[in-house]
């Protein structure tokens, strides 16, 4: 065709069009090769990502098995505690053993497994964000965050290794750690997922640049061909005007040449526009729409079997990857909703615990008030006993004086029978009074025994309350273990509750010891009063004998002297017994004071426990409120 053109300008334009066409074809091959490279990189990324997700699921299941075993052990501890509560067989040693098992064995494994699962979810979210990111400058912070989480996993793995109980447990934890390391290297190691994604983004950008350059070169070729057509038309018009005398054959040849050039140029433009430029522009528009987030965009030219069709298939694979990323984001949002439901369940458990603890506090306060009232009764009874003992001592002194009078009367028996009769009558009256006073003292001692028995019942009630409080602390500890990280502060307070319950149990044991001493002293006082009564009755019998023997004063003088000596000994025993009664009353008063002080201590400890529980519940509520705001931080991978 160049040989038919006689104009240098037209020949140059036609040569430029040929050169532009050659460059266009060459650039088209480059663009297709780069699209093919981007497609291959994307397929490699998809395969790596699928393997990464599968390994992540395996890891999650392995950790879930570890957490489930620990959770089952904690549930068994709760069942044991409930059985102890129903059978009233709980002791401080049993409860401490359960709590030690919970805090030192089961809960650390459960918490470490939960933390590793959370780390895996966060790392998967970072990989999803990495896959969805279209700007290479935004990838470095994601890689840094991924590596930081991988380093953070070392601590929970150490906890799992430290609490492995058998060789099988150690082997299982070692397998989990090895799988985790392999899974991490699959993303961040040399030549793995992160580097492949970056290579894919580079290839994708190069393909976009090649497509843009191809568009520009196509426009240049079309412009050059338009110039050739315009030049040919101008030259044809000039030749027609200048060669009006040329023969019809030459004119026909020129016209045929012009028509052929125009037709060939138009056909070339139409061919290039329809077969290459238009599909490439359509795919570019589809990729822009996908990058903007429109996943409903249709990919054109999928049915073609040439390089353009391969490019369209690569774009379709890219679209499928974006759809999967969106599905993963939806699953992550569902996980956040599940965590919100779990938070609400923990709030309900806290409210139930608050009600139960407040009820225990009310029972403790009621028992403390009853103990105070009982201590006041014991003190009043002890004071009354001491007063009665003084009266009996006075009567015993009077009896001693009477016995001495009888002895004096015995010395003057021969001349004072009438005086002896009077003294005997007086001794009989005094012995009757002493007998009455002894009966009153016996009644007072009986009342004291009943009051001491009431105190023993109150002490038993306090022991029962302390045991219930201890069991409630155990249940609270178990629920705190189920709450995970948020339940650590709750577990500390539950331990304090257990310690307070143990202090209450020790105090009630001391009270029980004191009450046992009071009961022993009371029994001794009862025995002494019985002896006093017997002596007084014997005095009455002696007085009767003296009255009967007044007529036989001569022969009965020695017998009277002997009986008087026995009466003196009896009155001395009465005095000693009354001293014992007074001492026992003083001990009862001291014990009552100890009971009162102990009740005050129990009241103070109960008030302190109530304040600690209230502060703990407020802290837990504040912690759960802050935790409900935390899921917003996890939205970054979804938004990306």
DSSP state, residue 474: H
B/e letters for 222-247, b = 16+ CB within 10 Å, e = fewer, are bebbebbbebbeebbeebeeeeeeee
> Distances in Å between the alpha carbon of 557 and those of 265, 545, 552, 560?
172, 12, 8, 5
Tell me phi and psi for residue 153, to 5 degrees. -70, -15
- Region of 515 (left: φ > 0; alpha: ψ -120 to 50; beta: rest) is alpha
pLDDT at 596 over 70: no
Confidence band of 638 (pLDDT split at 50, 70, 90)? very low
pLDDT at 158 over 80: yes
161 near 173, Cβ under 8 Å? yes
Count of alpha carbons within 13 angstroms of residue 169, beta-carbon side? 15
Spatial distance between the Cα atoms of 182 and 639, rounded to a whole number of angstroms: 28
Nearest to 113 by CA among 53, 72, 58, 173: 173
DSSP state, residue 369: H
Give the tokens for residue 218: 């196509």
Task: Write the DSSP string, 251-280.
Answer: HHHHHHHHHHHHHHHHHHHHHHIIIIIHHH
As to burial, measured by CB atoms within 10 angstroms (0-12 exposed, 13-18 middle, 19+ buried), residue 274 is exposed
Alpha-carbon torsion angle 91, 96, 99, 104, nearest 10: -160
Task: Quote the pLDDT of residue 188.
Answer: 76
620 near 354, Cβ under 8 Å? no
Spatial distance between the Cα atoms of 68 and 113, rounded to a whole number of angstroms: 9
> Distances in Å between the alpha carbon of 608 and those of 29, 604, 619?
83, 6, 16
Spatial distance between the Cα atoms of 3 and 20, rounded to a whole number of angstroms: 19
Spatial distance between the Cα atoms of 576 and 570, rounded to a whole number of angstroms: 10
Spatial distance between the Cα atoms of 267 and 260, rounded to a whole number of angstroms: 10
- The percentage of the chain sitting over the pLDDT mark of 90, rounded to a whole number, equals 1
490 near 480, Cβ under 8 Å? yes
Average pLDDT for residues 116-124, to the nearest whole number?
90
pLDDT per position as a tens digit, 4-51: 445 566 666 666 666 766 666 676 677 677 777 777 777 877 888 888
Task: Quote the pLDDT of residue 632.
Answer: 42
Rounded to the nearest integer, the mean pLDDT of the chain is 70
pLDDT per position as a tens digit, 308-364: 776 777 777 767 777 777 777 788 788 778 767 766 765 675 666 566 657 655 766
* Element housing 428 (H / E): helix 417-482
* Element housing 622 (H / E): helix 553-629
Spatial distance between the Cα atoms of 148 and 631, rounded to a whole number of angstroms: 19
> Distances in Å between the alpha carbon of 363 and those of 91, 305, 410, 466?
20, 85, 68, 11
545 near 562, Cβ under 8 Å? no
502 near 90, Cβ under 8 Å? no
Task: Quote the pLDDT of residue 268.
Answer: 60
Tell me phi and psi for residue 243, to 5 degrees. -115, 45
Task: Quote the pLDDT of residue 17.
Answer: 64
Residue whose pair of structure tokens reads 């103990």 in the numeric block: 371
Nearest to 481 by CA among 159, 112, 59: 112
Query: Which one has a higher pLDDT value, 58 or 93?
Result: 58
Provide the whole-model pTM.
0.36
Task: Quote the pLDDT of residue 119.
Answer: 92
Give the tokens for residue 140: 């470095």
Residue 472: how many other CB atoms lie within 10 Å: 21
Q: Which 3 state secondary structure label does DSSP give 300?
A: coil
pLDDT at 242 over 60: no
Query: Which domains are assigned to the chain?
Result: 2-298 (no CATH), 376-604 (1.10.287.950)
CB-based contacts of 64, cutoff 8 Å, min separation 6: 113, 117
> Distances in Å between the alpha carbon of 624 and those of 341, 477, 630, 635?
12, 17, 10, 19
pLDDT per position as a tens digit, 80-101: 766 765 665 555 566 666 666 6
319 near 295, Cβ under 8 Å? yes
Spatial distance between the Cα atoms of 438 and 442, rounded to a whole number of angstroms: 6
């Amino acid at each position: 065709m160049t040989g038919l053109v006689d104009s240098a300008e037209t020949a140059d334009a036609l040569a430029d069009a040929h050169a532009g066409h050659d460059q266009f074809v060459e650039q088209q091959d480059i663009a297709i090769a780069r699209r093919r490279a981007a497609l291959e990189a994307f397929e490699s990324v998809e395969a790596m990502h699928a393997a990464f997700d599968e390994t992540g699921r395996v890891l999650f299941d392995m950790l879930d098995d570890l957490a489930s075993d620990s959770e089952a052990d904690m549930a068994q501890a709760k069942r044991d505690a409930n059985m102890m509560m129903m059978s009233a067989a709980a002791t401080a040693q049993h409860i401490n053993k359960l709590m030690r098992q919970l805090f030192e064995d089961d809960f650390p494994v459960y918490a470490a497994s939960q933390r590793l699962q959370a780390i895996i979810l966060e790392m998967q979210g970072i990989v999803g964000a990495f896959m969805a990111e279209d700007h290479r400058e935004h990838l470095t912070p994601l890689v840094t965050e991924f590596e930081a989480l991988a380093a953070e996993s070392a601590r929970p793995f150490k906890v799992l290794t430290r609490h492995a109980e058998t060789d099988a447990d150690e082997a299982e934890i070692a397998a989990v750690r090895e799988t985790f390391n392999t899974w991490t290297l699959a993303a961040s190691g040399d030549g793995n997922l992160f580097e492949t994604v970056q290579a894919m983004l580079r290839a994708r950008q190069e393909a976009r640049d090649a497509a843009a350059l191809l568009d520009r070169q196509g426009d240049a070729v079309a412009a050059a061909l338009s110039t050739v057509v315009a030049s040919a038309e101008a030259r044809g018009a000039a030749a027609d005007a200048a060669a009006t005398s040329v023969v019809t054959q030459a004119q026909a040849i020129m016209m045929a040449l012009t028509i052929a050039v125009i037709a060939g140029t138009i056909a070339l433009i139409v061919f290039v526009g329809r077969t290459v430029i238009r599909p490439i522009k359509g795919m570019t528009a589809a990729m822009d729409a996908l990058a903007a987030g429109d996943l409903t965009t249709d990919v054109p030219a999928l049915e073609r079997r040439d390089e353009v069709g391969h490019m369209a298939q690569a774009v379709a694979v890219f679209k499928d990857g974006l759809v999967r990323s969106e599905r993963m984001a939806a699953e992550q949002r569902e996980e956040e909703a599940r965590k919100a439901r779990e938070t609400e369940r923990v709030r309900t458990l806290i409210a139930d615990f608050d009600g139960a603890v407040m009820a225990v506090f009310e029972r403790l306060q009621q028992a403390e008030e009853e103990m105070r009232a009982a201590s006041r009764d014991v003190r009043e009874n002890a004071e009354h006993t001491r007063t009665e003992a003084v009266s009996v001592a006075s009567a015993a002194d009077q009896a001693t004086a009477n016995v001495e009078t009888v002895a004096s009367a015995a010395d003057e028996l021969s001349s004072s029978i009438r005086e002896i009769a009077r003294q005997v009558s007086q001794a009989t009256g005094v012995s009757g009074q002493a007998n009455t006073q002894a009966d009153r003292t016996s009644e007072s001692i009986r009342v004291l025994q009943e009051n001491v028995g009431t105190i023993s019942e109150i002490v038993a009630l306090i022991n029962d309350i302390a045991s219930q409080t201890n069991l409630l602390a155990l249940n609270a500890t178990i629920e705190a273990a189920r709450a995970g990280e948020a339940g650590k502060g709750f577990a500390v307070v539950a331990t304090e509750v257990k310690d307070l319950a143990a202090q209450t149990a020790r105090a009630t044991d001391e009270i029980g010891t004191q009450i046992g001493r009071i009961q022993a002293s009371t029994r001794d006082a009862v025995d002494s009063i019985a002896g006093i009564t017997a002596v007084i009755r014997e005095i009455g019998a002696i007085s009767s004998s003296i009255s009967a023997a007044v007529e036989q004063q001569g022969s009965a003088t020695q017998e009277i002297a002997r009986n008087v000596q026995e009466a003196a000994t009896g009155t001395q025993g009465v005095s000693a017994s009354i001293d014992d009664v007074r001492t026992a009353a003083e001990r009862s008063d001291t014990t009552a004071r100890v009971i009162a002080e102990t009740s005050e201590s129990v009241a103070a400890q109960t008030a302190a426990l109530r304040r600690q529980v209230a502060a703990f519940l407020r802290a837990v509520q504040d912690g759960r409120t802050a935790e409900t705001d935390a899921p917003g931080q996890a939205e970054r991978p979804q938004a990306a």
